[in-house]
Chains A and B, each alone.
Chain A
Amino acid sequence: MTNTQRFLLFVIRYSSFVISVKSMARKTITTEAQSSPRLAVDIAGVRFKNPVLTASGTFAYGLEFAHLMDLNSIGGIVVKGISMKPIKGNPPPRICETSSGMLNAIGWQNIGAIEFVTKKLPGLRKYATNVVVNIVGFDLNDYLEVARFLNDCPGIAALELNISCPNVKKGGFHFNKDPRDAAHITAETKKASSRLPLWVKLSPNVTDIREFARACEEAGADALSVINTFVGMAIDVEKRHPKLRYVTGGLSGPAIKPIALRMVWETSRAVNIPVIGVGGISTTEDALEFLIAGARAVQVGTANFYNPAASEQIALGLQEYCRSRHIEDISEIIGSLRI
């Protein structure tokens, strides 16, 4: 055999080796794709490709994050609270950082339902993810008006009734004083937007969240988002001024996660409708804790501010968690807490 022949033989053997390695790799990928864990969840008849959503007020109208993450990678986007008419919001300063969290008192600044539907929703609908619209109002009629309007708009997967924002002087928070008030607004909104599933976002600033959860369930809520922010405050000791112009604000971020988790656990045992866990979720482990505690899905909130791709990373993290532990369906995890 001449050197040239030896060389040719080597090339042939080498290339066939490369081809076989490549095809093996392809096979591995195919096999893995076949055994991909199922992450999809059903919430009130709506399918979410995975249980990771973004929380209202932390993800704007979604499109603002499109250049920093893949919006198609998450189950859904809960957009910023929308009222029928635009709302200007509270005077600044509106936010301040606290230990492992932040306070905000934005006061529902938003562009109004008409501008949302005409300018934001069409762009958002191009993505393969569900759009849930959080609705706000200063009195019952405000809520019903925006619910009626959105009920007729295509491209919306569900409404999230925000009766738990602590940062407006009237409306919203008022419905947290008595479970009967929460039930009343839930029932009325459900009538006004009968086409869409209705999620109710509950406040943690109550003695027993289960009473509110049960009242909303009986009134026709299709799911519950648990929880909104805790009322808190911070003071500038030099000026002796509150750090927020509104004086108090809603506390969010990792600081509230253990309490949110406890409330999700309590709520999911008290009702039969799905509970969506919200409160300080910033990692895959956080999300898993909520799912194990009984949440059907989770919403990532404050983490979006300092890590715009947090929700995508958590969705990927859940997939990896399931795959590495041979969990075929995410439902095996949901509510699997062992005590």
Chain B
Amino acid sequence: MLDKKVRVKEIQDLGARNYLLTLRSPEQARLTQPGQFVMLKCVENLSDPPLLRRPFSIFDIHRQSRSGKPAGLVILVKDVGTGSHRLAHLRPGQEIYSLGPQGRPFQVSAEMRNRVGVACLVAGGVGIAALYLLAQSLLLQNVKPILFYGGGGTPDLVLRDYFERLGIESSYSTEDGSLGERGLVTLPLERFLRGHRRPDLRIYACGPWGMMKAAHDLAVQYQVPCEVSLEARMGCSLGACMGCVIHGWDEHGKEEYLRVCQEGPIMSSRMVDWDTSPF
């Protein structure tokens, strides 16, 4: 984990208050694993308000066009509050504070090559941010990712083209029916799980609490291992403030408040007490 002041390379307006931010930070890019996050703060001096840094999933690694070497971090920002509003209105060349990469990543290993066939990536809205590096990593392990992507309407389903360019099979669902199937993302997911009862499936979910809870319920019902990417209000991301906890069970089954920044953000969905929302 590195504490850096990094320069904004590019910022792209994706519509519906979504922005794609490219930060120049080769060292942090080199260290990044799928599912990890950075804490960003956009002020002149670190002691200026808003005080606390905000956690953001690392969507992609920006690479040098010639050498392909890691050059920066690509971050999806939704303009929803004071901290994210500042980030969304940055200009190229401006500097911000970036602490990371950090957190427990998705558990993708070479062992998966022969044991896992298909990975269901389940995204709700900006939850897509945690899944793109994972998709790339799974492809490298010869695992086939299928994207189940849902949101309120078409404008919420940002960055679809990134997945399409990788040739990933995608199933879209919107609550207003403007794209793909009308309804929740878990409907096509359930249909898929019902039709493909095989032991080499995995589920990876990131999105609103209710969506991840539904994905977990399906994972239990169809006996598929499931990892989720959690979010929480975070004070420090260093395991010090104990502010970002969710209620659950540790790997030994002991009831505990688990820190999203240390024991997560990626956790097995079985570790989470889905009946106790942290919001």
Q: Total number of A-B contacts with CB less than 8 angstroms? A: 102
- Flag whether A97 is at the interface (Cβ < 8 A): yes
Determine chain B's interface SS by DSSP, over half rule. Answer: loop
Residues of B within 8 A of A283 (CB): 47
Confirm or deny: A157 has a beta carbon within 8 angstroms of a beta carbon on chain B. no
In the complex the two chains form, is B47's CB within 8 Å of A303's CB? yes
Instruction: Give Cα A152–Cα B241 distance, bound, in whole angstroms.
Output: 28
Cβ-defined contact, A104 with B243, below 8 A: yes
A96 contact set on B, CB distance < 8 A? 233
Q: Which A residues touch B247, using CB under 8 A?
A: 91-92
Q: A92-B232, A109-B257, A282-B47 are in contact. Are A104 and B246 (CB under 8 A)?
A: no
| Pair A101/B240 contact, Cβ less than 8 Å | no
| Contact residues in B for A100 (Cβ distance below 8 Å) | 49, 51
Are B3 and A308 in contact, with the CB atoms below 8 A?
yes
Indicate which residue in B1, B52, B276, B279 contacts A306 across the interface (CB closer than 8 Å).
Answer: B52
Q: B52: which A residues are within 8 A, CB to CB? A: 97, 102, 305-306
The answer to whether the Cβ of B236 comes within 8 Å of any Cβ in the partner chain is yes
Given A91-B276, A92-B245, A94-B243: A304 and B236 interface contact (C-beta under 8 Å): yes
Nearest CB on A from B106, distance (A): 23
A306, B278: Cβ atoms closer than 8 Å: no
Q: Size of chain A's interface in residues, with CB distance under 8 A? A: 38
| Cβ contact within 8 Å between B238 and A101 | no
Taken together as a complex, chains A and B put the C-alpha atoms of A101 and B47 apart, in Å, by 11
Given A89-B245, A89-B257, A92-B257, A305:B236 Cβ within 8 A: yes
Looking at B3, B51, B233, B238, which has the most chain A CB atoms within 10 Å of its CB?
B51
- A101 CB contacts on chain B under 8 angstroms: 51
- Assess whether A65 is interfacial by the CB under 8 Å rule: yes
Contact status B239-A99, CB under 8 Å: no
A42-64 interface mask toward B, CB cutoff 8 Å, 1 = contact, 0 = none?
Answer: 00000000000000011110001
A253 on interface, CB distance cutoff 8 Å: yes
By a CB distance below 8 angstroms, the chain A residues around B279 are: 93
| Contacting pair A106 B238 (CB below 8 A) | no
Contact A253 B51 (CB under 8 A): yes
A65:B47 contact, CB within 8 angstroms: no
Let me know if B140 is at the binding interface, CB within 8 A. no
A193 vs B3: C-alpha distance in the bound complex, in angstroms? 39
Q: Are A68 and B50 in contact (CB under 8 A)?
A: no
Asked whether any CB of chain B lies closer than 8 Å to the CB of A30, the reply is no
B-chain residues with CB within 8 Å of residue A106 when the two chains form the complex: 241-243
On chain B, the residues within 8 Å of A262 by CB distance are none
Chain A residues near B53 (CB-CB < 8 A): 306
Residues of B within 8 A of A94 (CB): 242-243, 245
Measured between beta carbons, the chain B residues less than 8 angstroms from A80 are 240, 242
Instruction: Tell which of B46, B232, B255 touches A307, judged by Cβ atoms closer than 8 Å.
Output: B46
- Contact-size category for B: 20 to 34
A167 to B171, CA, bound (A): 46
Query: What is the CA–CA distance of A9 and B239 in the complex, to the nearest angstrom?
Result: 62
- Give the docked Cα–Cα distance between A65 and B99 (Å): 12
CB of A325 closer than 8 Å to a CB of B: no
A315 CB to closest chain B CB (Å) equals 16
> Contacts A91-B276, A93-B279, A302-B51: A65 and B240 contacting too (C-beta < 8 A)?
yes
- By beta carbon, the residue of chain B nearest A239 is B279
DSSP class of A's interface residues: helix, strand, loop or mixed?
loop
A219 within 8 A of B: no
Give complex CA distance A92, B53 in Å.
Answer: 19
Q: Are A305 and B47 in contact (CB under 8 A)?
A: no
B-chain residues with CB within 8 Å of residue A58 when the two chains form the complex = 236, 240-241
Q: Name which residue of chain B comes closest to A303, CB basis.
A: B47
Q: Given the interface contacts A92-B247, A95-B233, A100-B51, does A305 sit within 8 Å of B241 by beta carbon?
A: yes
A67 within 8 A of partner (CB) = yes
Q: Contact flags (1/0) for B41-58 with A, using CB distance below 8 Å? A: 100001101111100000
B243 near A309 (CB under 8 angstroms)?
no
Q: Please state if B47 and A307 are interface contacts (CB–CB under 8 Å).
A: yes
Whether the Cβ atoms of A88 and B257 lie closer than 8 Å is yes
List B contacts of A76 (CB < 8 A).
none
The answer to whether A254 touches B47, judged by C-beta atoms less than 8 angstroms apart, is yes
Judged by a CB distance under 8 angstroms, whether B235 is at the interface is yes
Q: Are A60 and B238 in contact (CB under 8 A)?
A: yes
Partner of A308, one of B47, B51, B99, B233: B99
Residues of B within 8 A of A253 (CB): 51
B164 contacts chain A at the CB level, 8 A cutoff? no
- Tell which of A94, A283, A303 has the most Cβ of chain B within 10 Å: A94
The answer to whether the Cβ of B176 comes within 8 Å of any Cβ in the partner chain is no
Most buried by B among A58, A68, A95, A253: A95
Ranked nearest first, the 9 interchain pairs of A and B with the lowest CB-CB distance are: A95-B243, A60-B240, A305-B236, A92-B278, A307-B46, A282-B47, A106-B242, A305-B235, A109-B242
Which residues of chain B have a CB within 8 Å of any CB of chain A?
1, 3, 41, 46-47, 49-53, 99, 232-233, 235-236, 238-247, 255-257, 276, 278-279
25 A–B pairs (Cβ distance < 8 Å), ordered by A: A57-B242, A65-B238, A68-B3, A80-B242, A88-B255, A89-B257, A91-B247, A91-B276, A92-B257, A97-B50, A97-B51, A97-B52, A100-B51, A104-B241, A254-B49, A282-B47, A283-B47, A305-B235, A305-B236, A306-B47, A306-B52, A307-B46, A308-B3, A308-B99, A309-B3
